[in-house]
Structure 1
Amino acid sequence: MVEDKKKMAIAVMSGDMDKLFGAFIIATSAAASNMDVTMFFTFWGLRAIKKNERTGKSLIGKMMGIMEGGDINKADPSKYSMGGMGRWMFKKMMGAKKVATLPELRQMALDLGVKFYGCQMSMDVMEIPREKLIDEVEDCVGGGFFVEKALEAEV
């Protein structure tokens, strides 16, 4: 008898380093445990699946792109950022403990079959076109799509 895989759905709403680490560690742990995992990236969480390219067409959109500050490599911790010093210190401490980097965890998630989806409404508001996301993103979808995935999931 073949048993269906358990499913997990994760909404990633923050682009902060520590919150992205948490989301990717949970996703990779679940995928490594033979679960189907869906990650839905919305608003600031889109940073995790963005290329390191400026976004925005309007003045406000361009300003948001500048203030947002880049891709997954530029994620600052939610506390103790100190103008980038916090990011540097955390990366040093994690490197000393042989902890995978955020780009490595993202790639590990992809290698384990985790599915990435961008929030189309957030992308429209923040003026982030599809081509500014990494190629591995499955699709850009609405919140209703994530709700369906969450309802199907056990976790």
Structure 2
Amino acid sequence: MTDKATLIVHSGDMDKIYSAFIIGNGALSMGMDVSMYFTFWGLERLKKGELEEGNLSRKNLMGLGKWMIKRKMDSANVASLEELMQDFVELGGKILACDMTMEIMGLEKEDLRDEVISEYCAVGTYIKEAKESDITLFI
């Protein structure tokens, strides 16, 4: 039986999205099955052109904090969110989009990056994934 990790990606903050993909890719590289359930503000990052749009969760300083962190990440050769997401999908990670959040926020499938989404689903799918998981995280 393969180890499994399930992450709820609730926040759309840039640093938290980075954390989710870094943890997800780390778990995949260790041979785990990984699914990420994107809901509420996290789901906003799956909108076309919105992956990199989130602010920092702290010390955003009207965008200056994000700019400074991105410069430091660039100089440290940290992969972009786009690269991390593509790696996650290519390594077999599953991205689940909460259809209830889509309805609440007025989102259609056409608004989202369908090419990276494994499934549009309800909370029951997340519960099933989490129940089968060794690790569950709320980000």
Question: TM-score, normalised on structure 2?
Answer: 0.92
Relative to its length, the structure with more helix (as a share) is 1
Corresponding residue to 1:20 among 8, 17, 22: 17
* Counterpart code for 1:16: D
Query: How far did residue 29 of structure 1 move?
Result: 0.2
1:15-54 → structure 2 map (5 Å cutoff): 15-52=12-49
Rounded Cα–Cα distance in structure 2 between residues aligned with 1:113 and 1:16: 24
| C-alpha distance in 1 between matches for 2:44 and 2:51 | 6
Indicate whether 1:144 and 2:127 are aligned.
no
State how far apart, in whole Å, the 1-side matches of 2:119 and 2:90 are. Answer: 17
Higher relative contact order structure (alpha carbons within 8 Å, sequence separation ≥ 6): 2
Larger displacement relative to structure 2 (11-20 or 82-91): 82-91
TM-score by length of 1: 0.83
Structure with greater strand share of residues: 2
1:106 corresponds, among 85, 109, 117, to 85
**Take 2:65 and 2:74, find their aligned partners in 1: how far apart are those partners?**
14
**Residue of structure 2 in register with 1:76 after alignment:** 55
Q: Tell me by how many angstroms 1:18 deviates.
A: 1.1
Structure 1 segment 108-123 matched on structure 2, within 5 A: 108-123=87-102
After superposition, residues 61-72 of structure 1 pair within 5 angstroms as 71-72=50-51
2:134 corresponds to: 154
- Between Structure 1 and Structure 2, how many residues are aligned? 134
- Structure 2: which 5+ runs fail to align? none
Give the Cα separation in 2 of the matches to 1:47 and 1:95: 24
Q: How much does 1:9 deviate?
A: 0.6
Q: 4+ residue runs of structure 1 moved beyond 4 angstroms? A: none
Higher Cα radius of gyration: 1
Query: Which letter maps to 1:21?
Result: Y
Letter in structure 1 aligned against 2:124: G
Alignment of 1:6 with 2:6, yes or no, is no
Distance in 1 separating the partners of 2:38 and 2:91: 18
User: What displacement does 1:80 show?
Assistant: 1.6
Distance in structure 1 (CA, Å) of the matches to 2:32 and 2:112: 25
